[in-house]
Amino acid sequence: MAAIVERTSTTVVDAGAGRGGPRGQQVVEILRSAIIVGTYEPGERLVEATISAELGTSRGPVREALRQLENEGLVMSTAYKGAVVLGVSDEEVQEVLIPIRLTLERYSFTHALARMTDNDLGELGKQVWHMEQAAAANDLPRVVEADLRFHEVVISASGQPHTVQIWGTIWPRIRAYFYRYGRGKDLATMVVEHKELLAAIQSRDVPLMLAQLEEHIAVPSPTPVGSNGRKQSKARSSSASAKTPSGRGATSVAPAGKAAR
- Whole-angstrom Cα distance, residue 69 to residue 62? 10
DSSP, collapsed to helix, strand or coil, labels residue 157 as helix
Predicted pLDDT at 202: 96
Alpha carbon dihedral 123, 126, 132, 135, in 10-degree steps, equals -70
Predicted pLDDT at 95: 94
The answer to whether 24 and 62 are in contact (CB under 8 A) is no
Closest CA to 221 of 99, 92, 90: 90
The tens digit of pLDDT for each residue in 72-81 reads 778 998 877 7
What is the pTM (predicted TM-score) of this model?
0.69
Written as one string, the DSSP assignment of 21-75 is ---THHHHHHHHHHHHTTSSPTT-EE-HHHHHHHHTS-HHHHHHHHHHHHHTTSE
How many C-beta atoms surround the C-beta of residue 138 within 10 A? 10
The tens digit of pLDDT for each residue in 9-59 reads 433 433 344 444 567 789 998 998 888 877 888 889 999 999 999 999 999
Q: Where are the domains of the chain?
A: 4-85, 90-241
Predicted pLDDT at 39: 87
What are 45's strand-pairing partners?
84
Give the count of alpha carbons within 13 A of 197, CB side only. Answer: 25
Of 88 and 96, the structure prediction assigns the larger pLDDT to: 96
Would the CA dihedral through 106, 187, 195, 129 be positive or negative?
positive
The answer to whether 259 and 223 are in contact (CB under 8 A) is no
Distance of CA 165 to the CA centre of its chain: 17
Closest CA to 16 of 56, 44, 53: 56
The answer to whether 93 and 59 are in contact (CB under 8 A) is no
Predicted pLDDT at 83: 92
CATH architecture of 4-85: Orthogonal Bundle (1.10)
DSSP, collapsed to helix, strand or coil, labels residue 248 as coil
- Domain 90-241: homologous superfamily in CATH: GntR ligand-binding domain-like (1.20.120.530)
Predicted pLDDT at 12: 40
